[in-house]
Amino acid sequence: MIRKAFSRLLAGTCFRRLQPSLDFQSCPFYWQTRNEKLDLRLTASAKRALQIAAIAAHRSVSEFVLESALARAEETLPDRRRFGLSADQWEAFQSALSAPPPPAPRLARLLTEPSVFERDSAG
């Protein structure tokens, strides 16, 4: 039994699960039980490219795609969810939010003039 487990480890089937490529050990998405499914359509060449990349990374295609997609999501989302400011930047940000809006005469005129629909019905 130990011999079989060791040979599986050397073959990479267990090693993939013990040592994910990125820092997915701290990622709650990676280690939770996966019970959701995501289907996608792709070309044969795109599928082949994913298969080759997965083989090169010693991953299954599903693991490779999931890790790659989560890594891309983590690159994309932080600047849309939170941003850091120094104390001076925070003060300037708060001042800008608290300041009255600059005058907008064109907007004021737009809001006081009758709309196209109102002009047609009045004439």
pLDDT for 16: 41
pLDDT for 18: 39
Residue 79 structure tokens: 């600047």
From the list 52, 51, 59, the residue with the least C-alpha distance to 16 is 59
**φ, ψ at 100 (rounded to 5°):** -65, 150
Which residue type, as a one-letter code, is found at position 25?
A: Q
Q: pLDDT tens digits for 42-100?
A: 999 999 999 999 999 999 999 999 999 999 988 888 766 667 789 999 999 999 999 99
How far is residue 2's CA from residue 12's CA, in Å, rounded to a whole number?
15
pLDDT for 31: 61
**Residue ranges in the chain assigned as alpha helix (H):** 2-11, 15-18, 28-31, 44-56, 61-76, 78-81, 87-98, 105-112, 116-122
Q: Would you call 50 exposed, middle or buried from its count of C-beta atoms within 10 A (0-12, 13-18, 19+)? A: middle
Average pLDDT of the chain, as a whole number: 77
